[in-house]
């Protein structure tokens, strides 16, 4: 596909969350116009988009308006109806493809894809009934995690099983039509790789991130991950294999479990920019958002070179003293090498992702942990 150069390019983004917002901000800097299709959901991206379609994803008028506006299209989250993706792709180039997105949006399809392509992943079984669960638990004969086949993220839609539970009771309480039972994986670390594959099939990969979680939500990403060079190279090689097998075009996030023996298992894939790639906004030659735009419109990839060690600190709703009062950012700004990115969300509800901070420098982890502790303590004060 020939590159679609600005100013004649309008990138249509399906979804209007914080990833769409950061994608639109990167586009503005590059002179590329954006059209955000919100799906009728609260959409932080609308504040920075050139055009907004604030209608549901199943609205025929919205589809018509989106396809008439966008030169090329992409997504900022994967839980979009396959019918919508196919309808867009029939009229407007959509990258990544509906096929690639549909695999990544459903754990059953994702796990089967990994197995079929000989990509290392944990043992799993597809579950559609209490009988399936009983059989799988007997075969596994140990701890596992039961996960919904669709619409699960940030620890939602999953439950850990020790292997001694009553399958009928578990399934009755699980509230899902289809699920995947995965073997519990003892691991040393969780890491992730961002890979960008262009229209010409060329692939660039970023340094691996080491990910820590809090309340099943990403807390910090430490870059570069504290792993051996061999592990980093293997993670990048697996990400490349996945991108090629999907005939992918765009930015792809691949999450791994690193086991104590040094081997890697793929946990999940994200067909879009990823939370663990947010450090690239300040710490890399090319951000993951610019990389996505370059790949989608057919431009050469930018350098993924890491300019500084970094820690990305997620700022969840519990950093806020209440729903509408933001934290005191003085300590963060006083640091001098920490950069704040807020997502424009109106209310800090529970553990909602409100923004992130990128802390740069060789002592970034120590400083990030100190800032996190101070802000959480301040938010907890009556």
Binding residues for ATP, by number, are 107, 147, 152-158, 182-185, 190, 213, 267-268
Instruction: Please state, in angstroms and as integers, the Cα–Cα distance from residue 118 to each residue in 242, 267, 306, following that order.
Output: 10, 14, 30
Q: In sequence order, which ranges of the chain are alpha helices (DSSP H)?
A: 18-30, 60-69, 82-89, 98-104, 107-116, 130-140, 167-174, 229-245, 280-283, 288-297, 330-335, 364-380
Rounded to whole angstroms, the Cα distance separating 16 from 36 reads 6
In the Cβ-directed half-sphere of 104, how many Cα atoms lie within 13 Å?
30
Give me 207's structure tokens.
Answer: 């340094």
Sign of CA dihedral 80, 86, 91, 97: positive
Q: Smallest Cα–Cα separation from 260: which of 231, 222, 295?
A: 231
- The backbone region for 336, taken as left when phi is positive above 0, alpha when psi lies in -120 to 50, beta otherwise, is left
Phi and psi dihedrals of 108, rounded to 5?
A: -65, -50
Q: Smallest Cα–Cα separation from 37: which of 25, 58, 52, 20?
A: 52
Report yes or no: 157 and 122 within 8 Å, Cβ to Cβ: no
Tell me how far the alpha carbon of residue 319 is from its chain's centroid: 21
β 51-53/310-316 pair status: unpaired
List, as residue ranges, the binding site.
Answer: 107, 147, 152-158, 182-185, 190, 213, 267-268
Q: What is the largest CA-CA distance in the chain?
A: 61
Q: What is the DSSP letter of 56?
A: -
Rounded to whole angstroms, the Cα distance separating 55 from 37 reads 7
Q: What is the DSSP letter of 299?
A: P
């Amino acid at each position: 596909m020939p590159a679609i150069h600005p100013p004649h390019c309008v990138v249509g983004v399906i979804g209007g969350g914080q990833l769409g917002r950061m994608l639109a901000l990167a586009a503005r800097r590059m002179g590329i116009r954006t059209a955000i299709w919100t799906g009728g959901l609260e959409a932080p991206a609308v504040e920075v988009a050139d055009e907004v379609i604030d209608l549901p994803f199943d609205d025929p008028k919205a589809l018509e308006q989106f396809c008439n506006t966008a030169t090329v299209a992409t997504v900022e989250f994967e839980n979009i109806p396959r019918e919508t993706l196919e309808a867009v792709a029939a009229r407007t180039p959509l990258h990544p493809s509906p096929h690639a997105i549909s695999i990544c949006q459903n754990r059953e399809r994702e796990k089967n894809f990994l197995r079929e392509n000989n990509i290392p992943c944990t043992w799993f079984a597809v579950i559609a009934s209490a009988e399936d669960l009983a059989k799988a638990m007997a075969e596994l004969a140990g701890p596992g995690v039961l996960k919904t086949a669709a619409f699960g993220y940030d620890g939602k839609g999953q439950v850990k099983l020790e292997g001694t539970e009553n399958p009928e009771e578990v399934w009755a309480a699980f509230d899902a039509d289809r699920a995947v039972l995965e073997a519990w994986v003892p691991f040393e670390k969780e890491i992730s790789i961002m890979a960008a594959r262009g229209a010409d099939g060329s692939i660039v990969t970023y340094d691996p991130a080491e990910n820590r979680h809090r309340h099943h939500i990403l807390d910090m990403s430490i870059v570069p991950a504290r792993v051996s060079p061999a592990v980093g190279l293997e993670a990048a090689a697996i990400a490349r294999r996945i991108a090629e097998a999907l005939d992918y075009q765009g930015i792809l996030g691949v999450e791994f479990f690193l086991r104590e023996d040094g081997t890697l298992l793929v946990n999940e894939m994200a067909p879009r920019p990823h939370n663990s790639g947010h450090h690239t906004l300040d710490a890399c030659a090319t951000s993951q958002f610019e990389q996505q735009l370059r790949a989608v419109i057919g431009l050469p990839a930018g350098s993924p070179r890491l300019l500084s060690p970094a820690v990305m600190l997620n700022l969840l709703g519990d950093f806020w003293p209440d729903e509408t009062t933001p934290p005191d950012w003085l300590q963060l700004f006083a640091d001098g090498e920490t950069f704040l990115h807020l997502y424009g969300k109106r209310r800090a509800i529970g553990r909602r992702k409100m923004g992130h901070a990128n802390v740069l420098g060789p002592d970034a982890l120590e400083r990030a942990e100190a800032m996190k502790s101070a802000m959480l303590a301040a938010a907890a004060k009556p």
